[in-house]
Each structure stands twice: as C-alpha cells, then as structure tokens.
Chains A and B, each alone.
Chain A
Amino acid sequence: MEIFFEAKNLNKRFGGLLATNDVSIQLHKREILGVIGPNGAGKSTLFNLLSGAIKPDNGEIFFMGKSVNGLKDFELCKLGIARTFQIVKPFKELTVLENVMAAAYLTSIGKKEAKIYALRTLEAMKLINKKDELAKNLSLPEQKRLELTRALATRPKVLMLDEVLAGLNPSEVKEMIPIISNIVKNYDVSILIIEHVLYALMNLAHRVIVIDQGAVIKEGTPTEVVNDPVVIKIYLGEDFELVKS
C-alpha cells in the first residue's frame, strides 16, 4: 500500500513540556489508522500539527509525496485533508444544510452544485431529514454526525477524526461504527482516528499506534497493540493483565 500522508520526526514543545517527541507516522491509502494513548499523551497536539492548526518546531509532513510543511489548516483542506473536532463545533445558528454547504463550496462551482453535493452527503450520512434544522437544535450524536458530514463534504482524501465517539453512549457508538467504516468504502478516504473507546478501534482500525508522553511507543494491528505488555502498563499500571473476553 502506498504511503499517502506521512509525518517525519515531528517535535513540538510548549514551554517546558515536550508535547510531541520525535513522532513519525504513516497513513496508507484507504487505511484506518488508530491513535491511542492515555490522557495528556499528546494525541491532540499531534492532531493539531497534522491538520495545520499549529506548526511543529521541527519535522516534516508529506501529503501524496509532496511536502506540506507550514501550510495552514484551510490550505491543507484544499489539498484534501479534513478534520473533525473533539468538542464539536457546528455553525450553531445555521441550518444543517448550510453547515454542509459551507464545506461543499470548496469543491463545487456555484451554489447549485454545492447544494446538490451537500444534500447527497447528508443523505448518505442519514441526516437528510434534519436539513432545515438549526445546528444548535441537534442532539449530540447528531451533531457529531454533522461534524463528520461537513468534513466529508470537502471531498477529502484524508479524514482526521478527533475522538468522534466521545460523549456517546454505547448504543450511539454502535451506530457510528459502521458509518465510519462505510466512509472508507464509499468515499475513498484514508482515516486517522484518535479514540479512547478501544473496542470501537478494534472493529475499525487496520493499524494502531500508541502515543505516550509525546512519543510513539508501539505500532501494530489492534490485537497486537492491545496485548502488548508495555501498552497495558501505561494504561493500567504494572499490576494488571488483559483479561480476554
């Protein structure tokens, strides 16, 4: 599989804290790559570095072979890298349709085309019946789906999901999982997903990397990672063993 989106030796320091410590990461085409790690491990910082929200102190980022160092988030989006936010940021006073159209305009010519593509995406994500609702009136799972729909409407090649399952109850999580796996199938995107809900990642991710204290400490398939003693230790401490269910 070709390497699609890649970061090499990323470093980011905030004052005394080395939030990102020599991180290299590769995302292949049509892959779902999970990023896990304890709280404060530096996952969100990594995310922000990859999405252009903040600049690394050093290191390089490549997209489809070309360097995208220093590009801002809207520029990266134009190239095909989209992201969602851990705490959803819908355009509250706009309708669901307007929220998605704002994204669809990126790759559409004119209002009509943008509207058509927005409606299509809303339908695929099963939000079409809420299209004229104000975004602020949606429930949290709906807002998360909206966030996802909006990112998708930019026709990305890489989609970065930041704890998209956070705050959802187990049945809501169960609903989201096939939606996410279908995205790869239907939209030809590669997905980078930060997640705490481990069993979701087991079902979704092809590969997982584990971040702790800013550095990558393990890389492998979900099963490998979850069974790795080092990983278990950083999450649960020395005295625990993973009980296989």
Chain B
Amino acid sequence: MRRFIQPKYLLPLGVIIILLLSQVDDITIHNILILTLLYIGLSSAWNLLSGYTGSLSLGHAAFFGVGAYTSTILLIEFQVTPWIGMFVGAIMCVILALIIGLPSFRLKGPFFTLSSIAIAEILRIVAINWREVTNGSMGLRISFSEGPSNMVFSNSQTYIYLMLAYAFIVFITVYFIDKSKMGLYLKAVREEEDAATSIGINANRYKMISFIISALLTGIGGSLFVQFTLFAEPSSVFDINLSILIALAAILGGIGTLYGPVVGAIIIIPLSEILKSSLGASGFPGLHLVIYGVVLIVVIRWMPKGLYPTISSLIKNRNKKSQKTKIIKEV
C-alpha cells in the first residue's frame, strides 16, 4: 500500500479528483479549484527562481501584474485576443526580468529580496498613477463578451480546465528543468556557488535563465487570472500579499523541490479561501495574514525543508524499518 504513496501515482490521482470535483455544480468549489491550480502554477514558477537558486523573491507580483495588465490593455484598447496577449505579457515579463535581473543578482540575500519588493511596489504605484494607460486605482474592466477567442467563459468549469492546463504546463517545465543539466547546475549554485563556478558553471547566466523563465510563467498566470476575474487593478495584481502567498505555498510544501509547491498550494489555498470567507466576514480583518505569518514562522523553525520532503523521508524511514523487520522475521 505504501508503495503507492509516490508522486507518479498521486499526481494523476489528483488530476482525476480535480476533474471529478469540477463536475460538482458549486461555485465556491470551482473558485477554490481555480485558485489552487493557479497557485500551483505560480508557486512552481516562483520556486524555479527562489527555490532552485536561493535568491528569495518577495516581489513576484511584479510579473503577475505586468502579465495581467499587458493582456488586458491589449484586449481593451486593441481587441487583441488574450491568447496572444498573454504571450505578449510574457515577453514584457522577460524584458522586465532582464532589466532587473542583471543588477539584482549582484545583491546578496536580503538585498535581492528587498529589491524584489521594491520593484513590485514601484510598479504598483506606477499603475495607480499612470491613469491614461491603467485607469489608475479604479482598474480596468474586461467586458463580459463570452467566447473562446476572448478567453471569457460563462461556465466556471472551463476556467478550471484552463488553470489545470496552466498548472500542468508550469509543472512540466519545472520538471524537465529539474531533471536536466540546468537543474543540476542550479542546485549546485544554490549549494555552493564558489564550488559551482570552480567546475565551470556560469552561475550568473543560469540564475538569469531561471529568473526569466520564472518571470514569464508568472506573467502568464497573471493574464489568465484577470480573464477569470474580469478586473485588473493595482492593489490586487501588484499586491505584496500575493507575492508572500506564492512564496508561502512553496515554502510550506518544500522550497527547492519539484513537488513542494504543488503540495503547499493544495494545502494553503483552499484553507486560505475558507478562512477568508468565514473569518473576514466576522470582522477580523487581516487574520488570514496573521495565520500566514504564523505558518511561515512555524515551518521555518520546525520544518524548514517543507512538508513534502519531511513527509517523504518519514515514509522512506518507515519503509526501511519495515524491510528490516521483514528480514529479521525471516531469519
């Protein structure tokens, strides 16, 4: 039985569960599924940078927002379909990553993090003030004209499939990178950068590549998200709490691992949605954020590797023990 608690069995099982749940005609469940899948993608993309290279970004909302606004503006002003708009948004994210990546990677630890926060905040303030383009804090509304070419659907189920595809694509990308030379190089750089460069690894180049991929995948998530909410505003798409939640999901599940962000998102997003709806209404604003903070402190202190690695090594140890007892019994 324990043999089946492995990602290669659990992941398809998870997909089946998601598809089954999507058939239940409950808008709350659909919302939770959509957001969870979105965050699986966003956290996996974030993890590619922060988990694999060790450069902690708390400003990924910058890319989310750039993606969101780019596709939305293209749609509203130029009637460009979001299917193309989201790739343009991805390109904008790549450009942004190139501009900030080169100087940022020279910064050590907390300063990289600080600059990531700074960039996202600058973009948020720009979005609030650049009214001609972004309509300021009032935001941009996407009109509800249904149709696949507009990426607007009346049936929320379709959004679930869309987000499932997004999560899948991001995950597969990270999967292949993880198993490839680039993945090993990134891990080496994260472990011991000096040793990595001494064996011929151009650390900055690989950090940059992972940054770019992370940025563009996040931007696409942003575009998809606003097609769902039909609304792009600075305080939601450039929100620092978004950046924190993306990071939290990956850290909770297992930063730097392939499956960590998936596990983390599956746990924290549904919980967070349930919390927000049951507590927010009872007049305790910010409680869900307090809980994020507490979870973060607890995980860092007592389970710094995250849930997935901790649980899988527990399972491995149990397997070893049961094998040992089997051998002893046979003797």
Contact = CB atoms under 8 A, between A and B. Distances in A.
Contact of A82 (B181, B194, B196, B199): B199
Interface of B is mostly: helix
B77 interface: no
Contacts of B184: 94, 98, 101-102, 105
Given A51-B198, A98-B184, A105-B185, A90 B192 contact: yes
B198 A102 contact: no
Contacts of B194: 53, 85, 89
Chain B interface size, as a band, is 10 to 19
Nearest to B185: A102
Contacts of A53: 194, 198
Interface string B193-213: 011111111110000000000
Given A102-B199, A103-B200, A111 B181 contact: yes
Contacts of B196: 91, 102
Interface in A155-211: none
Which of B181, B187, B192, B199 has its CB near the most chain A CB atoms (within 10 A)?
B199
A74 B200 CA distance: 4
A106 B199 contact: yes
A108 to B, nearest CB: 9
A82 B198 contact: yes
Which of A53, A74, A90, A101 has its CB near the most chain B CB atoms (within 10 A)?
A74
A77 B201 CA distance: 9
A94 B180 contact: no
B181 A114 contact: yes
A77 B195 CA distance: 11
Interface residues of A, number: 29
A91 B192 contact: yes
Contact of B200 (A89, A92, A94, A106): A106
Given A74-B201, A74-B203, A77-B200, A94 B195 contact: no
A150 interface: yes
Which of B179, B184, B195 has its CB near the most chain A CB atoms (within 10 A)?
B195
B192 A73 contact: no
Nearest to B184: A102
A154 interface: yes
A133 interface: no
B192 A154 contact: no
A78 B180 contact: no
Contacts, number: 72
Given A105-B184, A111-B180, A111-B181, A150 B191 contact: no
A114 B200 CA distance: 14
Interface in B176-192: 179-181, 184-185, 187-188, 191-192
Interface string A90-124: 11111000110111011000010010000000000
B180 to A, nearest CB: 7
Contact of B191 (A82, A83, A94, A154): A94
Contacts of A153: 199
Contact of A83 (B179, B187, B198, B202): B198
A89 B197 contact: no
Nearest to A98: B184
A151 interface: yes
A72 B199 contact: no
Contacts of A105: 181, 184-185
A154 B196 CA distance: 12
A102 B201 contact: yes
Contacts of B181: 105, 111, 114
Interface string B75-103: 00000000000000000000000000000
Nearest to A153: B199
A240 B188 CA distance: 48
A148 to B, nearest CB: 12
A102 B188 contact: yes
B298 to A, nearest CB: 22
Contacts of B200: 74, 77-78, 103, 106, 154
B191 A77 contact: no
22 contacts: A51-B198, A53-B198, A73-B198, A74-B202, A85-B194, A85-B195, A89-B194, A90-B195, A91-B191, A91-B195, A91-B196, A92-B191, A92-B192, A94-B184, A98-B184, A102-B187, A102-B201, A105-B181, A105-B184, A105-B185, A111-B179, A153-B199
Interface of B: 179-181, 184-185, 187-188, 191-192, 194-203
3 closest pairs, A vs B, by CB? A77-B200, A89-B195, A91-B191
Given A74-B203, A101-B184, 8 more contacts: A72-B197, A74-B199, A74-B202, A78-B200, A91-B187, A102-B185, A151-B199, A154-B199
